[in-house]
Structure 1
Amino acid sequence: MEMPPELEDVAGRDEQILVTERDHDGGEIAVDFGPTDADATVDVVGDTAIVVIGDRQFEFPVPEGASDVTVNAGVLTIRD
């Protein structure tokens, strides 16, 4: 699974955001949006994922082959 450039750009603009890729059981991308009191939500509309945390919004294309896009405790996880 390929990392969307938009996620790499987000991490480059905000040092509290950590993006990691893991290649086990098909692949996984994890994005930790850092400490926040706001609940994080994710919606997938067509081929686009929209993450909202408080007053911040992030949009990026869902990687080809992704079967699961979830967010829990401020961490977005995309799995094959």
Structure 2
Amino acid sequence: MGDPLEDAKRRLKHRMLGRCGVHAVGIRRADNAVCLYAAAIEDPELVALLPDIEREVAPVRVLLIEEAPPKAAG
């Protein structure tokens, strides 16, 4: 059996990366959580999807973190 946090991260990365302003997916082991990094955590589509996302990865928690996407080098 795999690591539940890594499994949840993999699923959410596939489902959410590039949608609703989500530009990164990470893990916080101390919080048993997967972090979704988004430009605006109050994006209506992201807020609407959150209950489904939380059910999909339960019992792992989902944390939304507001953070600007990284700037391209150059």
- TM-score of the two chains, using structure 1 as the length reference: 0.40
Q: Comparing both structures, which one devotes a greater share of its residues to strand?
A: 1
Q: Comparing both structures, which one devotes a greater share of its residues to helix?
A: 2
Which structure is larger by alpha-carbon Rg, 1 or 2?
2
- TM-score of the two chains, using structure 2 as the length reference: 0.42
